[in-house]
Amino acid sequence: MTSKTTSLIELPTDLDCTQLPQHIAVIMDGNGRWAKQRGFPRMMGHKRGADTLRDLLRCCKDWGISALTVYAFSTENWGRSMEEVDFLMTLFENLFQLELAEMVSEGVKLEVVGNLDNLTPSLCSAIDRARVATRHNQGVRFTVAINYGGRQEIVRACQILAAQVQQGIVKSTDIDEQMLSKYLHTADLPDPDLLIRTSGEMRISNFLLWQLAYAEIYVTDTLWPDFDRLAFHQALLNYQHRHRRFGKA
């Protein structure tokens, strides 16, 4: 992982290491606008976005954040041009292949969530190899959402539970939040404490609809390719000034 930022290797001293969000979810938005502002093709924005993501993952390790989940491709993103979809799929494959040795040595545990049925066989193989190679790692839990939709994920969980009720394995009255959570893609992850969205849009865009119920939301105008350690530092400072109430007074 080549680092774009040479400063802020250590956790900045104005952050309280006991009050860091343990799981951070990110909607990486603004790659296209970043490229357009510079007169580059959109793909250049995605390429720079991939560099930004590598550095954020490294930063989570450096600063002691244990889980990072990123929205890389939504179920709606298939509506983009074929050229852009192909480019993104190749970027994902490169991440899982070319960065695998580094992820292994850094202790990253990789997971990919979403409906992987429509992905190319070579991308699926790269995902499988990376999952297997990192499965015992104890460092940052890095989850990449590809062909992911929050509503679809909840519907899928309901279908599994409905089938279990039909087979008499589960009583409908026993279904509760905890049981439904077990059938989400993120079953073995704690819910995110913080959602970061770049590029100023105030939406959650079908990302982790269930899991973000009590997350703090931080939106920055910074476009994703420019989201460096300084910008991450600002997001964490802002988070640490929030009072999390979980619906209580």
Q: What residue ranges bind ligand FPP (CB under 6 A)? A: 28-33, 46, 49-50, 53, 72, 77, 88, 91-92, 95, 144, 199, 224
Q: Which residue is nearest to ligand FPP (CB)?
A: 32
Reading the block at residue 4, the tokens are 């774009």
Between 145 and 189, name the residue whose CB sits nearer to ligand FPP. 145
For ligand FPP, give the closer residue by CB, 199 or 220: 199
Q: How far is the CB of 84 from ligand FPP (least distance, A)?
A: 8
Active site residues: 29, 77
The least CB distance from residue 104 to ligand FPP, in Å, is 17
* Rounded CA separation 112/143 (Å): 5
Please say which residue, 29 or 228, places its beta carbon nearer to ligand FPP.
29
CB nearer to ligand FPP: pick between 80 and 233? 80
